Amino acid sequence: MVHIKHRTRGAPKIVMRGEPRFKSRRGLRRTQRRTPGNITVVHYEKKMPGKPLCAICKNYLHGIPRNKPIKISHMNRTGKTVQRPFGANLCSPCTREVLVWKARVKYKIAKADDVPIHYRQFVKV
């Protein structure tokens, strides 16, 4: 931690707070804040993981938390996923399409080769 009490001409005006203890900084983001005392302070904030995406259309999945894996492992099952088939992988419109194609293939209304390419890995009958 670096503090600057007496500012002289040419002295740096950035204060480092909460510097990482180890060399690896992959999980930290460096941000600068201006304090009321007109000093720029550097903070190291932890990065958040990205939002979960649908495997087909790449839209955000609703109802699934955006937390670190350690926090998700401590949550109960109803807090982690949505209670429907493909709940943590697909959004609801894509799930509906996959289930329709599954039924078509199962009851021989359509052949497995007729299924669109992006649905094929989910339609396994």
Tokens describing residue 3: 């503090």
Is residue 60 within 8 Å of residue 51, measured between CB atoms?
A: yes
One-letter amino acid identity for 15? V
CA 4 to chain centre: 37
pLDDT for res 12? 55
Burial class (CB within 10 angstroms; exposed 0-12, middle 13-18, buried 19+) of 104: middle
Average pLDDT, the chain: 86
31-75 pLDDT per residue, tens: 888 888 888 988 888 888 899 999 999 999 999 999 888 899 999
Q: What are the C-alpha distances in Å from 49 to residues 64, 69, 70, 80?
A: 12, 9, 12, 15
Judged against a pLDDT cut of 60, whether residue 6 lies above it is answered with no
